[in-house]
């Protein structure tokens, strides 16, 4: 198994101060204890002329177990932001003997992300995952569960969790949403265990369950090579306040299908380090945003090629660059948070996913924080929905 590397030294993390809001996870008392409802804990009595039957509240035992968890653990709940990423450029440099491809890419975290709520479970045998969208696996196929299993295997800890995943990042988008969820779960598990693993430990372990997970243990910008698991943490080469728009059609580009159609002899020959230097010196422009997976992705999904072409034709200088992220199917427009007008007017694009975003980094020894503007927009949307 390939070993991941982080070319910097950083250590452990401060837990988020967020606490759970109401969801289908356990609610919280002001004192910090986990409980399930507010019914009085007394036996229910059913009486007839022939018999007297006593039926105990079924939540009684679980409430007691949850109280015991709170008493014995220094941390029982944690809410974390799980941001996604874009590939500002993505060069495929060779094919490996193990069947994977070597790449060289500038990965950068952006402000679009999911929210994951973790709570210690009284169970010592199983995690329980819920989510707000359909179609997301809730068992061991999910990278969150894989990450928690991996952490227990590596550390010998026995914490299990209730997890609620509030998804905002679309799947099959080339944005690394699932990989970010896995990295966030590893970070969370380490917080619940008192930070017994180093940040570099988490990075190296993560390569066992996915190639892109390791990147999220950078500080938000990294030059990644190998399968993506060799992570050179770098200062952000671009201003964080550059706006962008993400446009993703409903159709996904299966990564396996994209690589099946990939031909190494038809890739760009530009040195990826030259691209990184140009971005650092002169910023993002169309000529540096090269993605060698665009041609095969456009073969898999021809409508995606037409979407990119239409965005570029309609931009009239609105965007500094338009490109596909990862293996697709998200098209990124750098320089403006607004999509072209045809996205709203054309019936063919009525179901596309649209989001504005900015570049994002994190502070040393802390996890990524959701930008205040994004959180405010989400709160406003929830309020509007609740009042309709």
Boundaries of domain holding 269 = 75-358
What are the pLDDT digits (tens) for 215-254? 999 999 999 999 999 999 999 999 999 999 999 999 999 9
CA distance 212 to 193: 24
142-183 pLDDT per residue, tens: 999 999 999 999 999 999 999 999 999 999 999 999 999 999
Cα(202)–Cα(218) distance, integer angstroms: 11
Our answer to whether residue 85 is catalytic in this structure is yes
pTM for this model (two decimals): 0.79
Residue 98: pLDDT band with limits 50, 70, 90 = confident
How would residue 9 be classed by pLDDT, with cut points 50, 70 and 90? very low
**Residue bearing the bigger pLDDT, 220 or 16:** 220
Inside any domain, residue 278: yes
- Is position 136 within any domain? yes
For the cut 50, the answer to whether the pLDDT of residue 275 exceeds it is yes
At 343 the pLDDT is 97
Poorest-pLDDT segment among 52-56, 106-110, 115-119, 160-164? 52-56
Grade residue 59 by pLDDT with cuts at 50, 70 and 90: low
CATH, residue 349: 3.30.230.10
Q: Which entry of 70, 127, 201, 212 is annotated as an active-site residue?
A: 212
Residue 30 lies in a domain: no
Q: Is 124 a catalytic residue?
A: no
Ranking 7-11, 55-59, 227-231, 312-316 by mean pLDDT, the lowest is: 7-11
- Coil, strand or helix at 313: helix
- Judged against a pLDDT cut of 60, whether residue 22 lies above it is answered with no
pLDDT at 73: 55
H helices present in the chain, as ranges: 60-72, 143-155, 177-192, 199-206, 255-260, 272-282, 294-300, 302-315, 342-345, 372-387
Q: How many Å separate Cα 386 from the centre of its chain?
A: 26
- Active-site hit among 70, 85, 146, 292: 85
Q: Are 24 and 250 a contacting pair, CB within 8 Å?
A: no
Confidence (pLDDT) at 381:
43
Closest CA to 196 of 236, 145, 224, 158: 158
- Measured at the CA of 226, the angle between CA 224 and CA 231, to 5 degrees, comes to 30
User: pLDDT value at position 75?
Assistant: 85
Residue 173 to residue 324: CA distance in whole angstroms: 9
Question: Could you tell me which residues come within 8 angstroms of residue 6 by beta carbon, excluding any fewer than 6 positions away?
Answer: 199, 200, 203, 204, 214, 217, 218, 231, 233
Predicted local distance difference test score (pLDDT) of residue 57:
58
Segment 186-213, tens digit of pLDDT = 999 999 999 999 999 999 999 999 999 9
**Mean per-residue pLDDT for 361-388?**
68
Please report whether residue 281 resides in a domain: yes
Q: Is residue 365 part of a domain?
A: no
Residue 83, pLDDT above cutoff 60:
yes
Nearest residue to 106 via CA among 314, 385, 323: 323
pLDDT surpassing 70 at residue 329: yes
Q: For residues 121 and 126, what is the distance between their CA atoms, to the nearest angstrom?
A: 9
Q: According to the model, what pLDDT value does residue 290 have?
A: 98
- 369 vs 70, which has greater pLDDT? 369
Domain assignment present for residue 164? The answer is yes
- The verdict on residue 222 lying in a domain is yes
Residue 48 pLDDT exceeds 60: no
Would residue 98 count as lying in a domain? Answer: yes
**Cα 343 to Cα 318: distance, rounded to the nearest angstrom:** 15
Question: What token pair was written down for 384?
Answer: 């509007």
Q: What is the mean pLDDT of residues 316-325?
A: 96
Q: What is the pLDDT of residue 186?
A: 98
pLDDT of res. 29: 39
* Average pLDDT over every residue of 68-76: 65
| pLDDT value at 12 more than 50 | no
For residue 5, what pLDDT is reported?
Answer: 53
**Is 60 exceeded by the pLDDT of residue 384?**
no
Structure tokens at 208: 């066992």
pLDDT above 90 as % of the chain:
73
Structural domain total, the chain: 1
| Phi-psi region at 214: left, alpha or beta (left = phi > 0; alpha = psi -120 to 50) | alpha
């Amino acid at each position: 198994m390939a070993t991941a590397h982080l070319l910097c030294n950083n250590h452990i993390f401060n837990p988020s101060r967020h606490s759970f809001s109401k969801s289908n996870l356990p609610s919280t008392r002001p004192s910090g204890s986990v409980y399930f409802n507010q019914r009085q804990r007394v036996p229910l009595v059913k009486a007839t002329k022939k018999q007297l039957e006593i039926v105990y509240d079924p939540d009684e035992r679980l409430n007691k177990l949850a109280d015991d968890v709170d008493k014995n653990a220094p941390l029982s709940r944690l809410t974390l932001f799980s941001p996604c990423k874009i590939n500002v450029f993505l060069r495929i440099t060779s094919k490996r003997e193990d069947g994977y491809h070597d790449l060289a890419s500038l990965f950068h975290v952006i402000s679009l992300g999911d929210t994951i709520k973790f709570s210690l479970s009284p169970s010592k045998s199983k995690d329980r995952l819920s989510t707000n969208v359909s179609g997301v696996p809730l068992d061991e196929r999910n990278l969150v569960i894989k990450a928690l299993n991996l952490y227990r295997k590596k550390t010998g800890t026995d914490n299990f969790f209730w997890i609620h995943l509030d998804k905002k990042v679309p799947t099959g988008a080339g944005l690394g949403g699932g990989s970010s969820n896995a990295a966030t779960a590893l970070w969370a598990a380490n917080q619940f265990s008192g930070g017994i693993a180093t940040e570099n430990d988490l990075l190296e372990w993560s390569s066992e369950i996915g190639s892109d997970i390791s990147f999220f243990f950078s500080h938000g910008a990294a030059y990644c090579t190998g399968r993506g698991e060799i992570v050179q943490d770098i200062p952000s080469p671009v201003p964080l306040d550059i706006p962008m728009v993400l446009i993703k059609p409903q159709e996904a580009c299966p990564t396996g299908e994209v690589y099946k159609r990939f031909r190494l002899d038809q890739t760009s020959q530009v040195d990826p380090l030259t691209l990184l230097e140009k971005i650092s010196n002169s910023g993002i422009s169309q000529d540096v945003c090269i993605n060698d997976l665009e041609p095969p992705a456009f073969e898999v999904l021809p409508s995606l090629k037409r979407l990119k072409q239409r965005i570029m034709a309609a931009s009239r200088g609105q965007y500094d660059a338009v490109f596909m992220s990862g293996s697709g199917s998200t098209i990124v427009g750098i320089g403006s948070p607004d999509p072209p007008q045809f996205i709203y007017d054309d019936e063919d694009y009525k179901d596309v996913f649209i989001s504005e975003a900015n570049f994002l980094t994190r502070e040393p020894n802390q996890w990524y924080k959701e930008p205040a503007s994004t959180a405010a927009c989400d709160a406003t949307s929830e309020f509007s929905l609740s009042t309709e």
